[in-house]
Homo-oligomer: A and B are copies of this chain.
């Protein structure tokens, strides 16, 4: 049965008590929450954009991944596009108050139609926001102006990225704002070093330099501060996270330490489950602490799982996007996905531009279970876009009515966004200090 945009996944678990309480607290504190976010993002500017993968277990609603180079704008509901346009104006203005144009640097894949459709939508949003937008590709195969026809009927024009002096651009287009939609998994491109333009997000936030554990450390602080304000147990929104490494799966080095971290996470989770009568089996996610498309990732039930990996599994855990070898690992409390639609597991993804939620969608995958990672490489998912925004809870409806559930998604996603904002502020501070030390 094809998905209809009016469908909303069911939360299939009896354990929804804690979440109802969370949603109720969020509803009761709406003005405080929005006020708090406003102040937080005034203090620490939001990233240009981000997408956050959430998991809704019914008794816990937590972010599991925060992507600073979101692809998937093509999956957002067209009715919500005006929100993205409005937010994009704020985002560019914050970065470059006088900007007329935005240079967009995409991922190198030129054959992934889904990705290219995303790129086309992102370009449309920025054009509608009133910017001239051209796409400058890092891909060495793009040596001249290249037109690509997309399944949607749109045409995308890629041009080779050039450097003139200390500015990058295409043709005679070298604007102040350079927007990365490339997660830099393969490292920091030389051409982008020390440019005299505003790179969004900064080079130091590419996966070559970023660690997920740093993000989740910030997220822990953010969620503690937030939970205090709205009077909830921070456990409800925070997945326990531990860094472990270096780990070399091929050489079986560091696996004992990894098993120890898994053990800690499972035990802590079990303890909480016992205290709160949650009749679920704890599990942990082990993933590369640096970016990637989810290659080096696995779901484990026991510490032994990481000790008894076969060669194929170890190879998989050693690989990463564009050859980056996993060294530092993140062990994270597994959060069940208890949302389903037509018996398929549905994982919400929330999209933000600047400090605004601009839409989202569910990754719906029929072949996966509640504990699997839904963002696996080459994985096919159907996207089910949120038909309503995440910014308008309805006080007259039940806490778990869909506008209210979406509001909760938007709130938790923005907490992760704030954590990312603090990461960026840290990175900028560090870069400034290094520059100072070098001079």
B392 touches A128 (CB 8 A): yes
What 1/0 mask marks residues of chain A from 61 to 105 whose CB sits below 8 Å from any chain B CB? 000000000000000000111110111011001000100100000
CA distance A30 to B81 in the complex (A): 16
Q: Does A132 contact B (CB under 8 A)?
A: yes
Q: Does A391 contact B (CB under 8 A)?
A: yes
Report, as a range, how many residues of chain A touch the other chain.
35 or more
Known: A36-B130, A42-B97, A86-B87. 11 other contacts (CB 8 A): A30-B127, A31-B127, A31-B130, A31-B131, A34-B131, A35-B130, A35-B132, A38-B93, A82-B83, A85-B391, A128-B391
A31 touches B132 (CB 8 A): yes
Would you give the shortest CB distance from A127 to chain B, in whole angstroms? 5
For window 14-44 of A, CB contacts with B under 8 Å fall at 30-38, 42
Q: Does A389 contact B (CB under 8 A)?
A: yes
> Which of B34, B85, B133, B391 has a CB less than 8 Å from the CB of A82?
B391
18 A-B contact pairs sorted by A residue (CB < 8 Å): A30-B130, A31-B131, A31-B133, A34-B89, A34-B128, A35-B100, A35-B131, A35-B132, A38-B89, A38-B130, A79-B79, A80-B82, A82-B392, A83-B83, A85-B391, A86-B87, A90-B90, A128-B392
A130 touches B37 (CB 8 A): yes
Given contacts A93-B38, A392-B128, contact A83 B81 (CB under 8 A): no
B34 touches A130 (CB 8 A): yes
Q: Does A356 contact B (CB under 8 A)?
A: yes
User: Can you name the residue of chain B whose Cβ is closest to the Cβ of A32?
Assistant: B130
Q: Does A344 contact B (CB under 8 A)?
A: no
For window 321-361 of A, CB contacts with B under 8 Å fall at 356
Q: Which residues on the B side are within 8 Å of A142 (C-beta)? A: none
CA distance A430 to B388 in the complex (A): 45
User: Can you name the residue of chain B whose Cβ is closest to the Cβ of A85?
Assistant: B391
B83 touches A86 (CB 8 A): yes
For window 380-395 of A, CB contacts with B under 8 Å fall at 388-389, 391-393
Would you give the shortest CB distance from A415 to chain B, in whole angstroms? 15
Q: Does A425 contact B (CB under 8 A)?
A: no
Q: Does A427 contact B (CB under 8 A)?
A: no
B389 touches A34 (CB 8 A): no
Q: Which residues on the B side are within 8 Å of A11 (C-beta)? A: none
Q: Does A236 contact B (CB under 8 A)?
A: no
Would you give the shortest CB distance from A411 to chain B, in whole angstroms? 12
Q: Which residues on the B side are within 8 Å of A393 (C-beta)? A: 128
CA distance A422 to B133 in the complex (A): 30
